Amino acid sequence: MPATVHHRACHLCEAICGLRIETDGDRILSIKGDPADPLSRGHICPKAVALQDIHNDPDRLRRPVQRIRGTDRWREISWEEALDSTAQRLVEITQRDGVDALGVYLGNPTVHNYGMMTHQKNLFRHFHTRNRFSATSVDQLPHHLVSLWLFGHKSLFPIPDIDRSAYFLMLGANPIASNGSIWTVPDVRKRIKALRKRGGKLVVVDPRYTETAELASEHLFIRPGSDALFLLALVHTLFADDLVAPGPLGAFTTGLSELAAALADFTPEFAAAHTGIEASTIRRIAQEFAQAGAAICYGRMGVSTQRYGALCQWAIQLLNILTGNLDREGGSLFTLPAVDQVSSIGPGGFARHHSRVRQLPEFDRELPASAMAEEITTPGTGQIRALFVGAGNPVLSTPNGRQLDAALAQLEFMVCLDPYLNETTRHADIILPPTSPLEHDHYDLAFHINAIRNTARYNEAVFAKPEGTLHDWEIFTELGNRVAALLGQPAQPVTAPHEIIDMGLQIGPYSERQGSVHALTLDKLRENPSGIDLGALQPQLPDRLQTADKTIDCATPQALADLDRLRAAFSAGDSGALRLIGRRHVRSNNSWMHNYHRLVKGKERCTLLMHPQDMATRGISDGDRVHLSSRAGSVTVAAEASTGVMPGVVSLPHGYGHGRPGVRLHTAARHAGVSCNDVTDDLALDVLSGNAAVNGIDVEVALA
C-alpha cells in the first residue's frame, strides 16, 4: 500500500516547523522537514521525530481516570462519569465558598494548541475567579507588560529581523538550543551564519558560553541578575555621547528628556562594578549599536525571569527606539498575522487587583504563579479549594515546587486536562486526557504573531479521532455545558476551532474583504498545506500602535518608579554568593519530553555545571555528588566541571525530578534527575511585574 503524505506543523516549540509525515494506515513511516514551508524551509530539530513517540507512548492516557479514594491507585471511568462529576464538584465548591475557591493553572502547551485557546472560555465563562495562574509568570510576563506600556497592546512584540540586520545584541537567550522564543525563527543557525557571513555582528551576553555564543562574534559573561544595569548604561551612553537618533520614530515618541534625567546616574562605571563588563566595553557597544545602520537588541528568558525582568525588557526596547531600530528593516518589526489578535482581542491590563495573601499584581486577569501555593494553603475567604490544571506541570515548572507539591495534596478537589500521570497530575482526583496532537487539526494562533515572516498555515489531523476520545476543546465545551445545565443556563452553541479561524481569516488583513490579493479563507489554506507566504515584515508605525494617543511614551511611569529598587539593591553591594541559572537542551522541552527514549538516550543531562575554580574552593571534583541549596529547598545532583560557566555561577536545567512516587512515566523514571525548581524560590520575584526570578538566585553548593 502506498504511503500517505500529511502536512503538519510541529507544535512542540515556538519555531512551528512545517513537517511532512508519511503514514501507512495507523503507522507513522517517517517525519521530515517540509522544504515547501515558506517559514521553516525544511528545517526540523530532533524533537519533531518524537511526535510519533508521543502518539504511540503506552504511558499516554487514552481514557479518563479517577483516583480510588484515599489511595494512589486509579481506575478508568467513562467520559460521562468524568465530565459529570467534574462539573458537579466545581459548581458545588464555588457555590459554597465563592468563585475564587476555584484556582486555574494553564501551562505552556495551551498556546501550542489552538483549540485550547479558543475554547477554554466555554468552561471559564462560568467561573470568573481571581485565582487564575499560568506559565506566563515564570516566563514572558515582562515582555507583555513592556509591550502594553510602550505600544498599547500586550501582544505587540517587536520581532528581530535577523535576515536583514547588521548587528545583533542578544541577552539571556539561547536560540540554538531553544529554537527561539518570542521570536519564531526556524533554522536560526543558518540565519546567524548568514548574518556573520555578510559581515554582521552577533554579540551574546550570557553567564554561560552557550551553543549560541559559539556562533557569535563576541561573547560577554555577565553576573546573573545584573543585566538591567548593563542595558540602562547603554541607554545612558546614547544620551551622554549624543547617539540618540530615533529617525522617523521621533515624530511620535515622547518622554526622552525625562528619561535622560532619570538615567543620569546609571553610568557604565556603575554597571561595570556589578556586571563584570568593563565600562569601556559598554561604551563601545552603545556606539556600535547606534552606528550599525540596522541593529537588533533582543533578550529572552535569562533577562525576563530574573529580579529586574521588566526593567530589562523595557531598556531593550528603549535601545531599539532611541537608535531608530524599531520598525526598521533589519531592526525589530511588528508582524501582521493572518488572524490578527492585536485587533481582535483586548490590550490586556495590569494591577487591577492583587493576590489575597501577598498582594501581588494581576496581569491579564492572572496572578503570579509564585503565589499559587500560598493561595491554596492560607485559610480565609478566597482560599483555593478546587484546582483546574490544563496542560501544565507547575510542580516541576514553578518556583519552590516542593511547597506546591505539598499544597496540592491539601486541595478538596483537583482535575487535570493532561495526557500524562506526572508530578502534578498525580495529585488530581480526575485526569481528563485529550486526543493525541496528531489526532486533531492545527492552526498556530499564537506564534505567527512572533514570526520573522508573515505566513499562514492550516493542517488537517494526521489520524482520525479514535472512538471514545475527545479533543481538548471538546472537553472544555462539554464541561462548560454541564456547568451551564447545573446553573440553569443555556448551553453554548458548538463552533469548532477551525470555524473560528475561518472567520478570523475572512476579516483579517489578508482577506478579500480587506482588499488583499491573498483573499485568505480556510479553504485556501487547505489547498496549500505547506502554508502561504504573506511576505517579509514591513514597517507599520505609527498605525499599528494601540496606545490611545498613537505615541510611544519612553518615560514609562511604572519603570521609572522601579529604578529606585534597582539602584538600592546594587548600592547595597553583592553577597558574592553562587548564583543559579537554568539551561535548555535541544532534545528536551520543559518537563514533558523525557519519556521518549530517542530524546533521553546518551549522556546524563541533568547535571550542575560549575566553574573549576568554584569547585576547587569547595573541594569538589568533576562528577561528585553535591548538595545544591537555597532558602527554599535543596537537591543532590552530580557536579560537572565547565569553564563555559562564569565563575560564581552554577547551571541546572529545569523540568526534571521525575522520581516522585505515583508518577507513571516509565522512560522518564530512568532519567529522573532532580527538579531545579525545588531550589528556586517563590519569594524571589521581579517585584514590578510579579514574574518569577528562576534565574540568578543565590545558592550554596557543598560536597554531598
Ligand X SMILES: Nc1nc2c(c(=O)[nH]1)N[C@H]1C(S)=C(S)[C@@H](COP(=O)(O)OP(=O)(O)OC[C@H]3O[C@@H](n4cnc5c(=O)[nH]c(N)nc54)[C@H](O)[C@@H]3O)O[C@H]1N2
Residue ranges that bind ligand X, judged by CB under 6 A: 13-14, 107-109, 113, 135, 138-139, 171-175, 177-179, 181, 205-208, 210, 222, 224-225, 227, 300-303, 306, 390-394, 397, 417-420, 422, 434, 437, 472, 581-582, 584-586, 588-592, 654-655, 676-677, 680, 694-696
Q: Which does 113 bind (CB under 5 to 8 A by kind): Mo ion, ligand SF4, ligand X, none?
A: ligand X
Q: Is 185 in the site for ligand SF4 (CB under 6 A)?
A: no
Q: Which does 208 bind (CB under 5 to 8 A by kind): ligand SF4, Mo ion, ligand X, none?
A: ligand X
Q: Which of 21, 39, 44, 296 binds ligand SF4 (CB under 6 A)?
A: 44
CB nearer ligand SF4, residue 326 or residue 451: 451
> Would strands 691-692 and 102-106 be described as parallel, antiparallel, or unpaired?
unpaired
How many residues form the binding site for Mo ion (CB under 5 A)? 1
Q: Is 176 in the site for ligand SF4 (CB under 6 A)?
A: no
Which secondary-structure segment (H or E) carries 503? helix 497-507
Q: Which does 10 bind (CB under 5 to 8 A by kind): ligand X, Mo ion, ligand SF4, none?
A: ligand SF4
Q: Which of 47, 112, 471, 544 binds ligand SF4 (CB under 6 A)?
A: 47
Smallest distance, Å, CB 299 to ligand SF4?
20
Q: Which does 151 bind (CB under 5 to 8 A by kind): ligand SF4, Mo ion, ligand X, none?
A: none
Which 3 state secondary structure label does DSSP give 269? helix
CB nearer Mo ion, residue 139 or residue 366: 139
Smallest distance, Å, CB 517 to ligand X?
34
Peptide bond into 466 cis (omega under 30): no
Rounded to whole angstroms, how far apart are CA atoms 546 and 154?
10
Q: Which of 17, 182, 311, 483 binds ligand SF4 (CB under 6 A)?
A: 17
Q: Given the rule CB under 6 A, which of 9-17, 437-445, 489-497, 518-526 is the region that contacts ligand SF4? A: 9-17
Beta-ladder partners of 692 = 685
Q: Is 12 in the site for ligand SF4 (CB under 6 A)?
A: yes
Which secondary-structure segment (H or E) carries 258? helix 256-262
Rounded to whole angstroms, how far apart are CA atoms 601 and 99?
46
Q: Which of 6, 7, 8, 13 binds ligand SF4 (CB under 6 A)?
A: 13
Give the CB-nearest residue to Mo ion.
139
Question: Any residues with CB less than 8 A from the CB of 84 and at least 6 apart, and which?
Answer: 482
Which 3 state secondary structure label does DSSP give 430? strand
Q: Which does 676 bind (CB under 5 to 8 A by kind): ligand SF4, ligand X, Mo ion, none?
A: ligand X
Q: Which does 44 bind (CB under 5 to 8 A by kind): Mo ion, ligand SF4, ligand X, none?
A: ligand SF4
Q: Given the rule CB under 6 A, which of 7-15, 235-243, 381-389, 534-542 is the region that contacts ligand SF4? A: 7-15
Q: How far is CA 690 from CA 304, 371, 603, in A?
A: 11, 9, 36
CB nearer ligand SF4, residue 586 or residue 704: 586
CB nearer ligand X, residue 418 or residue 429: 418
Q: What is the secondary structure of 614-633 as a DSSP string?
A: HHHTTT--TT-EEEEE-SS-
Tally of CA atoms within 13 A in the half-sphere of 357 that contains its CB: 18
Residue 700 burial (10 A CB sphere; 0-12, 13-18, 19+): middle
Q: Which does 17 bind (CB under 5 to 8 A by kind): Mo ion, ligand X, ligand SF4, none?
A: ligand SF4
CB 699 within 8 A of CB 639: no
Q: How far is CA 299 from CA 172, 557, 599, in A?
A: 6, 22, 27
Residue 519 burial (10 A CB sphere; 0-12, 13-18, 19+): middle
Q: Given the rule CB under 5 A, which of 19-27, 135-143, 289-297, 344-352 is the region that contacts Mo ion? A: 135-143
Q: Is 188 in the site for ligand SF4 (CB under 6 A)?
A: no
Rounded to whole angstroms, how far apart are CA atoms 541 and 276?
37
Give the CB-nearest residue to ligand X.
302
Which 3 state secondary structure label does DSSP give 444? coil
Handedness of CA 215, 172, 284, 642 (dihedral sign): negative
Q: Which of 34, 37, 139, 423 binds Mo ion (CB under 5 A)?
A: 139
Question: Looking at this protein, which amino acid is placed at residue 278?
Answer: E
Q: Given the rule CB under 5 A, which of 134-142, 235-243, 475-483, 665-673 is the region that contacts Mo ion? A: 134-142
Q: Is 10 in the site for ligand SF4 (CB under 6 A)?
A: yes
Q: Is 48 in the site for ligand SF4 (CB under 6 A)?
A: yes
Smallest distance, Å, CB 388 to Mo ion?
20
CB nearer ligand X, residue 397 or residue 403: 397
CB nearer ligand X, residue 547 or residue 642: 642
| Eight-state DSSP code of residue 554 | S
Q: Given the rule CB under 5 A, which of 136-144, 158-166, 521-529, 626-634 is the region that contacts Mo ion? A: 136-144
Could you tell me the three cell numbers for 556? 514609562
**Three-state secondary structure readout of 556-587:** CHHHHHHHHHHHHHHHCCCCCCEEEECCCCCC
Q: What is the secondary structure of 439-475 as a DSSP string?
A: GS-EE-TTGGGGBSEEEE-EE--SSPPPTT---HHHH
Smallest distance, Å, CB 400 to ligand SF4?
29
CB 31 within 8 A of CB 57: no
| Eight-state DSSP code of residue 404 | H
Angle, in degrees to the nearest 10, between helices 309-322 and 557-571: 120
Smallest distance, Å, CB 108 to ligand X?
3
Q: Which does 420 bind (CB under 5 to 8 A by kind): ligand X, ligand SF4, Mo ion, none?
A: ligand X
CB 517 within 8 A of CB 511: no
Q: Given the rule CB under 6 A, which of 42-50, 269-277, 296-304, 337-345 is the region that contacts ligand SF4? A: 42-50
Strand (E) positions, 227-294?
Answer: 253-254
Longest dimension (CA), the chain: 73
Q: Which does 372 bind (CB under 5 to 8 A by kind): ligand X, ligand SF4, Mo ion, none?
A: none
Q: Given the rule CB under 6 A, which of 39-47, 263-271, 434-442, 646-654 is the region that contacts ligand SF4? A: 39-47
CB nearer ligand X, residue 97 or residue 698: 698
- Phi–psi pair at 697, nearest 5 degrees: -85, 155
Question: How many C-beta atoms lie closer than 10 Å to residue 698's C-beta?
Answer: 17
Smallest distance, Å, CB 186 to ligand SF4?
6
| Eight-state DSSP code of residue 169 | E
Which 3 state secondary structure label does DSSP give 545? coil
Rounded to whole angstroms, how far apart are CA atoms 219 and 463?
46
Strand (E) positions, 330-440?
Answer: 332-333, 350-354, 361-363, 386-390, 413-417, 430-432
How many residues form the binding site for ligand SF4 (CB under 6 A)? 12
Rounded to whole angstroms, how far apart are CA atoms 607 and 641?
10
Smallest distance, Å, CB 168 to ligand SF4?
20
CB nearer ligand SF4, residue 20 or residue 356: 20
Q: Which does 319 bind (CB under 5 to 8 A by kind): ligand X, ligand SF4, Mo ion, none?
A: none
CB nearer ligand X, residue 243 or residue 417: 417
CB nearer ligand X, residue 86 or residue 306: 306
Question: Looking at this protein, which amino acid is placed at residue 593?
Answer: M
Q: Which does 246 bind (CB under 5 to 8 A by kind): ligand SF4, ligand X, Mo ion, none?
A: none
CB nearer ligand X, residue 224 or residue 529: 224
Smallest distance, Å, CB 510 to ligand X?
28
Would you give the distance in Å from CA 393 to the centre of its chain?
A: 13
CB 396 within 8 A of CB 677: yes
- Contacts to ligand SF4 by CB under 6 A: 10, 12-13, 15-17, 44-45, 47-48, 179, 186
